[in-house]
A and B are shown apart, each in its own frame.
Chain A
């Protein structure tokens, strides 16, 4: 959820039990609710500076240590399953270019005369 750690108590207060159940069903609850995690920004930056992925094998070096994992090993490290749906489709940002936005806005709003696109909250659509 946007790179955040899920707090069980807060989620229950907000009526998000169903969300917790879905995380549990995936086997991710423990991972995403672990508040003991930490992050080392300089090491993370070095990881991204050195990372390559070839045929599903991720390779990088961090502080002189070689890191090499495939999905299965990565799943073991994270304590989650490495099975199931895995078709990752990157978003095509070119469709949201400035020249396309008015056309998209006209179609979505069904107002052919609309001159300028403006942001709309998903829930308002």
Chain B
């Protein structure tokens, strides 16, 4: 979202951000948007529910997919660098400028081993990303079904 870049700047400058106010305002926006939206802040809100003594219907502990991983880093616009590469100082770097590709009519040069390894790494990372997206979609589907169930219960007429 647009304002998140502003928040990153504030964090860079070491200025305090009022997270609880941001959350409440964001939740108000989510509740009032006509568009479909994720049920955000699941973990943090569930922590709040616990505080209020809510008896959970189906609480699930955090899974591997809920942790920051390669796909999250790549989704934020960073590239992953292989560990142990002496030419790189950090593991995560911003993407390099795009490399011009040869036209289909040009002969294709054989790929040298390091580049081939890099491509293989990218394929592996993309496969991981695809799998995580697939699981995320399944989770979103479950969220929507849960929301529909609640709405249906609210809208159904009371028993005579």
A contact residues vs B (CB 8 Å cutoff): 1-7, 10-11, 13-16, 22, 25-26, 28, 31, 35-49, 51-53, 56, 58, 62-63, 65-67, 69-72, 74-75, 77-78, 80-86, 88-91, 93, 121-124
Contacts and interface: CB of A to CB of B under 8 A. Distances in A.
Contacts of B130: none
* Closest 9 pairs (CB-CB, A-B): A84-B16, A123-B95, A53-B28, A86-B18, A15-B90, A15-B91, A74-B20, A39-B42, A86-B21
B111 interface: no
A23 to B, nearest CB: 8
23 contacts: A4-B68, A14-B92, A15-B90, A15-B91, A15-B92, A16-B92, A38-B46, A38-B60, A38-B61, A39-B42, A41-B58, A41-B60, A43-B58, A48-B39, A49-B154, A51-B27, A65-B53, A69-B48, A75-B20, A86-B25, A90-B29, A91-B3, A121-B77
Given A43-B46, A49-B147, A62-B49, 19 more contacts: A2-B75, A3-B40, A5-B43, A26-B19, A38-B60, A38-B62, A39-B59, A43-B54, A47-B45, A48-B31, A48-B147, A53-B27, A63-B56, A65-B49, A65-B54, A66-B52, A69-B48, A78-B44, A88-B25
A123 B76 CA distance: 9
A4 B40 CA distance: 11
Nearest to B43: A37
Given A47-B45, A48-B39, A71-B18, A40 B56 contact: yes
B97 interface: yes
